[in-house]
Chain A
Amino acid sequence: MSAVEFALIAFVLACGVATAMLRDVLAAIIAFAAYSLGIAVIWILLRAPDVGLTEAAVGAGVTTVLFLLTIAKTVRPAGERTLERIDLPALGVAVVLVGILATTLGALPPVGGAETPVITSEVTQYYLDNAYTETEVKNAVTAVLAGYRGFDTLGEAVVVYAAGVGILVVLQREVFA
């Protein structure tokens, strides 16, 4: 693991813990935005720029603004302490859950390994070989999203649409106001 990767993982972990521990909601939101930014950079390092772009735009950008608007109605917690008291039973549950999940880590292939199912799969090879000739777009991710798996993408777009309609229905309004 290179120094950059190590520093990034340490940064993301620290931001995650800070998000959980900080008592001031505003501070927690800022820590959460920093966490998202760190994750976005990690995606870039893992050669997933599309996912990184989404994480940076949605996680670090828009979500932060929406959270900030939401907490405008809250009040600061009384008292001087900066950090929340640790709830030991909850911490225990979290540690056990992470421990159970961590046992599966050994089964994962190394990052960038040539033997991973994704690389050796026929489907991947088919996309990489034929995406440009069949869909005429150079980005294989877009070719899969809007070409080969266009029906799934329609579903995703409709989910976003349905989320907006759902909010309007719940608020009993006809426009976003």
Chain B
Amino acid sequence: MSDASANGAPSNDETESDERTVRPYVESPIIMATVRVVAPFVFTFGLFIMFHGADSSGGGFQGGVIVGTVILMLGIAFGIEPTREWVDPRTLVSLVGVGVLVFLVIGFGTVVAGGGFLDYDAVDIYHANKYGIELVELAIGVIVSGIITGLFFAIAAGASGGESA
């Protein structure tokens, strides 16, 4: 008991506390090679989940997260800063906005075409329902993957930039 209470008290030996070095990025040939091999498959899997969500489990949210994971993998393997420059943060923001716009356009497009909100059948396209749902899933996937990647970049910038308020 005395041991536990002694440890529970604020420790005076601050000099001994081993500070974890603030370096989220470790350059490792193993990680780089692994990510190089795995990334295309993960990306394909994410797209599959997104598109095939209509006929099997999955959908825009899950697929978007998996696609976003690819960027996270690249960031961990090749450094977050170069990955961010490669992706271009402005593209990311506009992509997210475009995703929401696509969803809204589909929703109100069917209203303009004479149906209800997201009443895909109102649009005179062969299998309008199926393609409409696929497009909505894709829009959701774009939004989610963009936000996941953005969160990653934003947190990483906070970790390395040190310009937190």
Binding site for B on A (CB under 8 A): 49-50, 52-54, 57-58, 61-62, 65-66, 68-70, 72-79, 81, 85, 134-139, 141-143, 145-147, 150-151, 153-154, 156-158, 160-161, 163-164, 167-168, 171, 173-177
Contacts and interface: CB of A to CB of B under 8 A. Distances in A.
A135 B20 contact: no
A96 to B, nearest CB: 24
Interface string B131-158: 0110011011001101111111111111
Given A75-B19, A164-B151, A50 B62 contact: yes
Contacts, number: 180
B8 interface: yes
Contacts of A174: 93
Complex A-B, nearest 6 residue pairs according to Cβ-Cβ distance, in ascending order: A175-B89, A176-B150, A150-B118, A49-B57, A137-B54, A78-B17
B104 interface: yes
B80 to A, nearest CB: 8
A175 B159 CA distance: 16
B49 A53 contact: yes
A29 to B, nearest CB: 13
Contacts of B148: 62
Contacts of A78: 11, 13-14, 16-17
A10 B151 CA distance: 33
B66 interface: yes
Contact of B159 (A70, A75, A161): A70
A68 B151 CA distance: 13
Given A62-B72, A66-B151, A78-B14, A164 B100 contact: no
Contacts of A175: 89-90, 92-93
